[in-house]
């Protein structure tokens, strides 16, 4: 299987270095999960949950300190994704990875594409003002 999220440098750079670096790390984790065997998947999934929690917390701080107008919609989306990841993490921790693997390979890349190009792009534009 190839990369689940491709061409990061061409498609997803937003011009805010900290945000771009965080997104780059997220994409790397997702792509590694797509290739991972069972044991590595279990470890990497936990890493993804931790990374995503920290990633969203940082974005939430940026939105709060910069008075980002769409903060409620954006933070609600963060909460929704964290809820999904937490539910899958419980299954993965008990050794059941099939549904989580499907989520990683089919749902999460599509979500990231839309989220980065809409909500995060709007936040990056706001932060650059």
pTM for this entry: 0.94
Domains of the chain: 10-127 (1.20.120.50)
Of 23, 28, 31, 29, the residue nearest 1 (C-alpha): 31
Residue with the two structure tokens 């044991």: 39
Digitized pLDDT (tens) for each residue of the chain, 129 residues in all: 678 999 998 999 999 999 999 999 999 999 999 999 999 999 999 999 999 999 999 999 999 999 999 999 999 999 999 999 999 999 999 999 999 999 999 999 999 999 999 999 999 999 998
* Dist. CA 122–CA 51, nearest whole Å: 22
With contact defined as beta carbons under 8 Å apart, do 81 and 49 qualify?
no
At 101 the three-state DSSP class reads helix
């Amino acid at each position: 299987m190839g990369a689940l999220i491709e061409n990061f440098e061409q498609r997803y750079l937003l011009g805010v270095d900290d945000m771009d670096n965080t997104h780059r790390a997220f994409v790397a984790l997702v792509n590694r999960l797509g290739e991972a065997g069972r044991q590595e998947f279990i470890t990497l999934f936990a890493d993804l949950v931790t990374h995503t929690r920290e990633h969203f917390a940082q974005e939430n701080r940026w939105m709060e300190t910069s008075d980002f107008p769409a903060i409620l919609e954006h933070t609600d989306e963060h909460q929704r994704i964290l809820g999904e990841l937490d539910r899958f993490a419980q299954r993965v921790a008990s050794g059941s990875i099939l549904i989580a693997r499907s989520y990683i390979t089919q749902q999460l890349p599509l979500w990231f594409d839309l989220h980065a190009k809409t909500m995060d792009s709007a936040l990056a534009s706001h932060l650059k003002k």
